[in-house]
Amino acid sequence: MDFGWTDTQRALRERTRDRVRTSLAGEPGPFDRARWRLLGELGALGLPVAREHGGQGLGALDTAAVYEVLGEECADTGLVFAAAAHLFACVVPIAEFGDDAVRKQLLPGLCAGELIAANAMTETEAGSDVSAIEAVATEVPGGFVLNGHKSFASNGPVADVSVTYAVTDPAAGPFGLTAFAVDTASEGVRLGEPFDKLGMRGCVAGTVTFADCFVPMERVLGEPGQGAAIFQHSMGWERACLFALYLGVQDRLLKQCVTHARTRRQFGRPIGEFQAVSHRIAEMKLRLEAARLLVYRTCWAMDEDEPAGLHAALSKLAASEAALASATDAIRLLGGQGYLTGSGAEAAVRDALGGILFSGTTDVQRMLIATELGL
């Protein structure tokens, strides 16, 4: 086992750190395409995509390394999450399952930040249970006609492309779902207004509705009926790499709390000398390092083409729960300062709450782990 970064990986992380500090520093704000294009210039929107299509051709571990730095250095966690959702749930499926024409047409713009992608899977009655999807796509000459309502799509209100899943063969069960890359400017597509959310405010989300929307056959990803497999493949990437950004957030909070514990004085001495404070910080460090090893282990398995389902569920569960626990601990340690807007800690709590929900809830991850163990 090698627990160190290579010189190439170390240089990639430091180059990312320098560029984020230069171009994406500052407090979180409303979504804007100028900052999105900066992510494209940084390369964050196409890391695992082949260079010929505008990406960097990186593996899962290198991709996670970049997102960990983004999570630490960019205070706008919602924006980083929006980039990750765009990349792992949309760009990766297009890159790996789209035909040559679709890849050439969409990937350069998606990687450069000229286009924004949304993943339109979730419906009112179909979240964790993808078999309950009600959106339908009826085959017609030259393509499909798509009808349905998606209730929650990250990047939905600003998306140019929607990776959408619909039933094409109701009798085929899990093999009757098909994936499409739909231009949101197409007739019959309606993007809802942004939701007012608790956290991740830099990532706008909303509904996507399809009403007799014609989708050309070339916009089918993979083959008709492969939608469930394509979705699970994209979730593998998302559960492995997206949660590296939460490692970065935890690292930022840990450093902030250590500094505070060294400089804040009560009862005539630094509060870090009190066991109640120092032990809480020790727990934050333990959570971070344990989650980090699980995330890296998952990405390593993906790069080695080894089965990664169990590792991905474990790492997603650990990283998301650790982020929430440590963000709450940061509030306790920083006291009134942490409770204030702009401290970083209060936003981290709000943003961490989303992590236990998306990409499969904490309870779904436990279910997946139990299934992998044969239960």
Q: Which residues are catalytic?
A: 238
CB-CB neighbours of 279 under 10 Å: 10
Alpha-carbon Rg for the chain, nearest whole angstrom, is 21
Residues contacting 82, CB < 8 A, separation 6+: 31, 36, 154, 155, 200, 202, 203, 204
* Amino acid of residue 162: S
Q: How far apart are CA 338 and CA 173, in angstroms?
A: 49
Q: How far apart are CA 375 and CA 232, in angstroms?
A: 20
Q: How far apart are CA 8 and CA 325, in angstroms?
A: 33
Q: List Cα–Cα distances, 316 to 1, 287, 310, in angstroms.
A: 22, 13, 10
* Amino acid of residue 2: D
Q: Which two three-digit tokens encode residue 148?
A: 């349905």
Tallying the residues shown for the chain, one arrives at 375
Helices 77-86 and 33-42 cross at an angle (nearest 10°) of 60
Contact between 166 and 137 (Cβ < 8 Å) = yes
Contact between 186 and 180 (Cβ < 8 Å) = no
Beta strands at 117-120 and 161-167: parallel, antiparallel or unpaired: parallel
Q: What is the 3-state secondary structure (H, E, C) of 253-322?
A: HHHHHHHHHHHCEECCEEHHHCHHHHHHHHHHHHHHHHHHHHHHHHHHHHHCCCCCHHHHHHHHHHHHHH
Helices 275-303 and 60-73 cross at an angle (nearest 10°) of 150
Q: How far apart are CA 142 and CA 243, in angstroms?
A: 39
* Amino acid of residue 80: V
